[in-house]
Amino acid sequence: MKNIMAIAVLATGLSGCALPYFEPLEPTRVEVAGSYTVDPQIKWSRGKTQHVEIWTVDGPLLESVRFFDARADGDPLLVPGPDQTLPTFKKDMRASEVQEFVVDTLSASGASRVEASNLRPWDFGVLSGFRFELSYVNQDGLEYDAFAVGAISEEKLYLILYAGTRRYYYPKYRGFAEAIVASIQPAA
Amino acid sequence: MRRLGSVALLVLACSGCATVGPVEDIQPGERPSLETDEAGLWMYMDRMETALATSGRVVTDPALNAYVRDIVCRLSPDYCRDIRIYIVRTPHFNATMAPNGFMQVWTGLMLRATNEAQLAYVIGHEIGHFQRRHSIQRWRDARNKTDFAAVFQVAAAAAGAGYAGSLASLAAIASILSFSRDQEREADDVGFTTMANAGYDPEQAPRIWEALLEERDASDKPEQVVFFATHPSTEERIGTLREQAQALIAKGAPRDAGAEKYKRIVGPFRDEWLRDEFRKREYAETEVVMNRLLAEERQNGDVLFMKGEFYRIRDESGDEDRAIEAYKAALLGDGAPPETHRSLGLVFWDAGRNDEARASFAEYLRAAPDASDRKMVEAYVKELETPQ
Ligand SMILES: [Zn+2]
């Protein structure tokens, strides 16, 4: 019977999103994901989990900017929970396939009705990358909007995701999130 | 995922023993009186129902819901007002019935049924559990055993926030609603009689079990087929159903399978539900599902496109060629979506067949001039035009 309760606890959030410790972040240019710098624009709280750095103001379930560490061939986007299989990144993926990879990862992590649209070329700092918009519903039935920007360079995937609850928090910080992803520069 | 089977089996292990006294069929419109243990059980189920209803897992499409509701009412005009249907978006073959009238039909079941009669049989089976009050029998059994507290905890957890929409919680609910083998046989009987009386082709009843057995035999992890964990089904049951069906057909029973209507109403959801299947990464099972759909509609460009998608996503040795073949067949069939060209382009590109990739992407842009990823695909074409 213990198994059942273990599942109950595991399944309460999206996987890989176990909440880290958050600390204030000064709004000055900062290195993220160990590979590039961005201008935060405003005062965010910053938390780090394995493979992803999360910035939020009102709480990560309401809105967040997520900077994923560079993912190499065979890596999942998130750390899979026990008995969980997550899709993995392949080095020869095109933008369309990265979009599928992100949609599949969200779906496998408990989101439902995940839809992606508007895939288009987009400059990720100096890299020619891509961007797409997302919408999904979490396990509590909360509706989210999101956008993702990314690029593949030297067989590694760089990805940033901004997500927030549809009605209020997504639009509230969207302008700042846009400015952040427009400010990407290679780390010195 | 591995836990799924074991959860169900664990709970099942505490049923199947001596039943605590027979109970009478529930009457239409009946509610248990407040001081009974049955009312307590209903209360838990009401909470789980509320949690599931708001979880984002429920398919809300009005036409699809009306269709399934009509099947319930055609099968059982008496109980149709007491039963509330939730079509739950989850890629496993299952349906559950709670004593308070809360019925779940999983999209994995609707994807696998190839006509209305097959779905009607499974729904009839679930109505059988409701009518015969199997849950309260099962609840009283469990309560007399040490596992009572555990069942109680699952009920409480399943009603908790955030948990309701998860596959684990769906499995836990299913496990609480698992029944003894005798109860399953009884529900089979009710399901079969009900669907035959409603004029459905009785031969479709064993068909849906056969399809499931085929999938289980193909699976590398057969213990994970959720439905078999909660609904012990055997070749013997199929044999019984087949004999019963033959006897009815010999007597001139009506044979409405409702295949056309089923395709018309359920068909628009098939691609989404197939993609949910792909995401399970249990490819051996999914290939069986895929082949069954194809056997029904060999010329259907959309199903052939999804076959191509299956191989492109599985990406095992030889799958590139299989995908290309399926996409090409899709384009020769009826109604292949424009995305067939795009997927074909991606596979050609991967295979280093750049000229064919470029031509396929260009064809996609012609076929879907307003596609939301137009700019990206234009960039692909440009990249492929640039000499390497
Ligand atoms: Zn049953």
Mutate to test the interface with B, among A7, A85, A86, A100 (most CBs of B within 10 A): A7
Cβ-count burial B110-119 (b if 16+ within 10 Å, e if not): bbbbbbbbbb
Whether the CB of A118 is below 8 Å from some CB of chain B: the reply is: yes
The pLDDT, as a whole number, for residue B154 is: 60
Residue B232 lies in a domain: yes
Nearest to B299 by CA among B337, B264, B334: B334
Q: Considering CB atoms only, which of A4, A130, A138 is closest to B172?
A: A4
Give the other-Cβ count within 10 Å of A79's Cβ. Answer: 15
Residue B258 lies in a domain: no
Instruction: Name the more confident of A134 and B217.
Output: A134
- Which chain B residues are Cβ-neighbours of A19 within 8 angstroms? none
Distance of CA B275 to the CA centre of its chain: 13
- Which chain B residues are Cβ-neighbours of A13 within 8 angstroms? 162
Residues B289 and B170 in one domain: no
Residue B256 lies in a domain: no
Contact criterion met (CB < 8 Å) for A92 and B150: no
Half-sphere exposure of B47 (CA within 13 A, CB side): 16
Mutate to test the interface with A, among B10, B166, B343 (most CBs of A within 10 A): B166
Question: From A131, which residue of chain B is nearest by alpha-carbon distance?
Answer: B376
Q: How many domains does chain A have?
A: 1
Hey, is A104 helix, strand or coil? Answer: helix
pLDDT > 90: what percent of chain A? 73
How many angstroms separate the first and last alpha carbons of chain B?
Answer: 45
Report ipTM (2 d.p.).
0.90
The pLDDT, as a whole number, for residue B233 is: 57
Q: How many CB pairs under 8 A join A and B?
A: 119
Cβ B316 vs Cβ B281: under 8 Å: no
Residue B54's identity, in one-letter code, is T
Residues B219 and B309 in one domain: no
Whether the CB of A97 is below 8 Å from some CB of chain B: the reply is: yes
The helix, strand and coil proportions of chain B, stated in percent and rounded to the nearest 5, come to 65, 5, 30
Residues B210 and B300 in one domain: no
Half-sphere exposure of B78 (CA within 13 A, CB side): 12
Q: Considering CB atoms only, which of B147, B162, B315 is closest to A1?
A: B147
Mutate to test the interface with A, among B309, B376, B380, B381 (most CBs of A within 10 A): B376
Nearest to A142 by CA among B57, B50, B61: B57
Spacing, Cα B62 to ligand 1 middle (Å): 26
- Which chain A residues are Cβ-neighbours of B223 within 8 angstroms? none
For CA atoms B75, B229, B209, B275, the dihedral sign is positive
pTM for the whole structure: 0.86
Residues B36 and B128 in one domain: yes
- CA dist B338 and B367 (Å) reads 6
CA diameter of chain A: 54
Q: Considering CB atoms only, which of A110, A130, A137 is closest to B166?
A: A110
The pLDDT, as a whole number, for residue B150 is: 58
Residue B24 lies in a domain: yes
Outline where DSSP puts E strands in chain B. Answer: 84-88, 95-97, 102-106
Residues B245 and B277 in one domain: no
For CA atoms B36, B37, B41, B47, the dihedral sign is positive
The yes-or-no verdict on residue A11 having pLDDT over 60 is no
Cβ B15 vs Cβ B139: under 8 Å: no
CATH number of the structural domain spanning residue A111: 3.40.1000.10
Phi, psi of B256 (to 5 degrees): -80, 115
Outline where DSSP puts E strands in A109-187. Answer: 112-124, 127-137, 143-153, 156-165, 185-186
Taking a 5 Å cut-off on Cβ, the residues next to ion ligand 1 are B 184, 187, 231
Q: Which helix (H) or strand (E) holds B172?
A: helix B167-176
Helix B181-197 to helix B235-250 angle, to the nearest 10 degrees? Answer: 20
Distance of CA A42 to the CA centre of its chain: 19
The pLDDT, as a whole number, for residue B170 is: 66
The pLDDT, as a whole number, for residue B167 is: 62
Instruction: Name the more confident of A5 and A94.
Output: A94
Nearest to A124 by CA among A32, A186, A39: A186
- DSSP bridge pairs for A32: A36
For CA atoms B111, B114, B118, B123, the dihedral sign is positive
| Chain position carrying tokens 């596609």 | B371
In the numeric block, which tokens belong to residue B54? 């708001």
* CA dihedral angle for residue B199, residue B200, residue B202, residue B207, rounded to 10 degrees: 180
Tens of each residue's pLDDT in chain B, 388 residues: 333 333 333 333 333 333 445 678 999 998 888 888 888 888 888 888 888 888 888 999 999 999 999 999 999 999 999 999 999 998 988 898 988 999 999 999 999 999 999 999 999 999 999 998 888 877 777 666 545 555 556 665 655 544 555 666 666 666 666 778 888 888 989 999 999 999 999 999 999 988 888 888 888 776 666 566 556 556 778 888 999 999 999 999 999 999 999 999 999 999 999 999 998 888 999 999 999 999 988 889 999 999 999 999 999 999 999 999 999 999 999 999 999 999 999 999 999 999 999 999 999 999 999 999 999 999 999 999 987 6
Residues B192 and B93 in one domain: yes
Residues B313 and B209 in one domain: no
Q: Considering CB atoms only, which of A7, A92, A104 is closest to B350?
A: A92
Instruction: Name the more confident of B70 and A79.
Output: B70
Q: Which helix (H) or strand (E) holds A100?
A: helix A95-108
Contact criterion met (CB < 8 Å) for B163 and A142: no
Residue B366 lies in a domain: yes
| Chain position carrying tokens 């056969």 | B210
Q: How far is B201 from chain A (nearest CA, A)?
A: 34
Q: How far is A127 from chain B (nearest CA, A)?
A: 14
Residues B223 and B302 in one domain: no
pLDDT tens string A166-180: 999 999 999 999 999
The yes-or-no verdict on residue A187 having pLDDT over 90 is no
- Which chain B residues are Cβ-neighbours of A121 within 8 angstroms? 375-376, 379
Q: Considering CB atoms only, which of B166, B167, B376 is closest to A95?
A: B376
Domain stop point among B219, B250, B281: B250
Burial of A104 (0-12, 13-18, 19+ CB in 10 A): buried
Nearest to B113 by CA among B234, B208, B246, B177: B208
CATH number of the structural domain spanning residue B364: 1.25.40.10
- Which chain B residues are Cβ-neighbours of A107 within 8 angstroms? 276, 279
The pLDDT, as a whole number, for residue A91 is: 95
Residue range of the domain that includes B195? 6-250
Whether the CB of A115 is below 8 Å from some CB of chain B: the reply is: no
The pLDDT, as a whole number, for residue A140 is: 80
Residues B310 and B228 in one domain: no
Contact criterion met (CB < 8 Å) for A139 and B163: yes
Spacing, Cα B92 to ligand 1 middle (Å): 15
Question: From A109, which residue of chain B is nearest by alpha-carbon distance?
Answer: B166
Contact criterion met (CB < 8 Å) for B147 and A119: no
Give the other-Cβ count within 10 Å of A117's Cβ. Answer: 13
Contact criterion met (CB < 8 Å) for A104 and B279: yes
Q: How many domains does chain B have?
A: 2
Q: How far is B254 from chain A (nearest CA, A)?
A: 39
* CA dihedral angle for residue A72, residue A74, residue A76, residue A81, rounded to 10 degrees: -130
The confidence band for A16, taking pLDDT boundaries of 50, 70 and 90, is: very low
Residue B260 lies in a domain: no
- DSSP bridge pairs for A148: A132, A161
Spacing, Cα A10 to ligand 1 middle (Å): 28
Nearest to B7 by CA among A10, A15, A17: A10
- Average pLDDT in chain A: 88
Residue range of the domain that includes A106? 2-186
Residues B45 and B94 in one domain: yes
Residue B58 lies in a domain: yes
Cβ B289 vs Cβ B108: under 8 Å: no
Give the other-Cβ count within 10 Å of B198's Cβ. Answer: 18
Residues B105 and B169 in one domain: yes
Residue B263 lies in a domain: no
Select, from the ranges A8-22, A92-106, B15-29, the one with the highest average predicted confidence (pLDDT).
A92-106
Instruction: Name the more confident of A21 and B359.
Output: B359
The pLDDT, as a whole number, for residue B151 is: 58
Contact criterion met (CB < 8 Å) for B54 and A104: no
Q: How far is B240 from chain A (nearest CA, A)?
A: 35
Hey, is A109 helix, strand or coil? Answer: coil
What's the DSSP call for residue A72? P
Phi, psi of B58 (to 5 degrees): -90, 130
